[in-house]
Amino acid sequence: MYEGPVQDLIDELGRLPGVGPKSAQRIAFHLLAAEPADISRLQEVLQKVKEGVVFCQVCGNVSEEQTCRICRDARRDPTVVCVVEEPKDVVAVEKTREFKGRYHVLGGALDPLSGIGPDQLRIRELLGRIGSDDIKEIILATDPNTEGEATATYLVRMLRDFPGLTVTRLASGLPMGGDLEFADELTLGRALSGRRTV
């Protein structure tokens, strides 16, 4: 335990996701030693992030304006929409440079244990887009865990028989670099159901 403001800083940092007590301490002492200019810059962006960032009215991604950069970009294919849980998933898919369509951010996954059902996610907004825009394919890219799978199941059932709409699911299977015998049943099951002809 440290005195006063230092401990306060460590406590605040420790509340952030992914920061354990040791990391919090390391970051706090790094900040203590930093140049005043660096600290002011950090202060400014922290302030801005709450005031300046809004959510894109179309896709729900974090944005600086009412519509995000990807939704405004005419070169992106508006007929293909990739559905993800969180804005960070948009970043992950963008990094692959494989995807040229648009996104839809649900804002989470269907998780009844946390009180999250279809009404708590941006599913109605997705339906609105499908009804009004010319969307031909929906790619479901929810997380490969229990809640993500259940969310994909729900959306597949809902969108399956929409005329003129193709629904696809990210292939998910065995992590590269592992041995088959160590794969768990859930992962192996997904890999089997998503198998393809070679």
- Residues at the interface with another protein (CB under 8 A): 17-20, 23, 110-119, 123-124, 127-128, 130-131, 145-146, 149-150, 153-154, 157-159, 161-165, 175, 177-178, 182-187, 189
Shortest distance (Å) from residue 120 CB to another protein: 9
Nearest distance, CB of residue 56 and Zn ion, angstroms = 3
Of 2 and 182, nearer to another protein (C-beta) is: 182
The partner in contact with residue 192, picked from Zn ion, another protein, none with C-beta cut-offs of 5 to 8 angstroms by kind, is none
For another protein, which is the closer residue by CB, 6 or 19? 19
- Residue 105 engages Zn ion in binding (rule: CB under 5 A): no
CA angle, 76 then 163 then 72, to 5°: 20
Q: Which residue, 29 or 55, is less far from Zn ion as judged by CB? A: 55
| Cβ 2 to another protein shortest distance, Å | 20
- Euclidean distance between CA atoms 74 and 34, whole angstroms: 42
Between 57 and 145, whose beta carbon lies closer to another protein? 145
Does 71 interact with Zn ion (rule: CB under 5 A)?
yes
Q: Binder to Zn ion among 10, 13, 24, 58 (CB under 5 A)?
A: 58
The C-alpha atoms of residue 104 and residue 71 are separated, in whole angstroms, by 10
- SS3 of the chain: the string is CCCHHHHHHHHHHHCCCCCCHHHHHHHHHHHHHCCHHHHHHHHHHHHHHHHHCEECCCCCCEECCCCCHHHHCCCCCCCEEEEECCHHHHHHHHHHCCCCCEEEECCCCCEHHHCECHHHCCHHHHHHHHHHCCCCEEEECCCCCHHHHHHHHHHHHHHCCCCCCEEEECCCCCCCCCCHHHCCHHHHHHHHHCCCCC
> 71 vs 152, which CB is nearer to Zn ion?
71
Q: In the bound complex, what is the minimum distance in angstroms from residue 116's beta carbon to another protein?
A: 8
For Zn ion, the binding residues (CB under 5 A) are: 56, 58-59, 61, 68, 71
